[in-house]
Amino acid sequence: MIGLQLLDIFLTIFHIIIVGFNLFGWIWKKTRMANFIVIMITASCWFILGIWYGIGYCPVTDWQWQVKEKLGERNLPNSFIKYWADKLTGSDVNTQFIDILIAVSFAAAVIISVYLNFFARRKKRA
């Protein structure tokens, strides 16, 4: 049981790092390409693995939900962000609101990352 609890904590921290890096990894020049790569991995999971598992599929969420179910949690939402929004607010945050927030935030991070990695560099060289 303690092993599962530690794994749950690890997966939560790992999730937070991935989400944070997806959204803000473009800020530092040294991490911009890594940010782009992590964003592309995330998008691949959501949209390519999503063909078989449902759009927005995240293997980390899948693994963590398996752990949480073994720890006795039930009725887990599809989204890690939804889970924590509910937990932090103590209410049932609207799923559609969370999905839109995720989509807009992720799209903004993609646009910024692509611009900084592939277009801003060219302007400086020219």
Task: Determine what percent of the chain is predicted with pLDDT higher than 90.
Answer: 94
Given a cut of 70, is residue 122 above it in pLDDT? no
Mean local confidence (pLDDT), 30-41: 98
So what's the pLDDT on residue 1? 85
**Per-domain residue ranges of the chain:** 2-125
Residue-wise pLDDT tens digits, 72-112: 999 999 999 999 999 999 999 999 999 999 999 999 999 99
Q: How many CA atoms lie within 13 A of 15 on its CB side?
A: 20
DSSP 88-125: HHTS---HHHHHHHHHHHHHHHHHHHHIIIIIHHHHHH
Taking CA atoms, 46 is separated from 2, 4, 7, 15, 118, in Å, by: 31, 26, 23, 15, 23
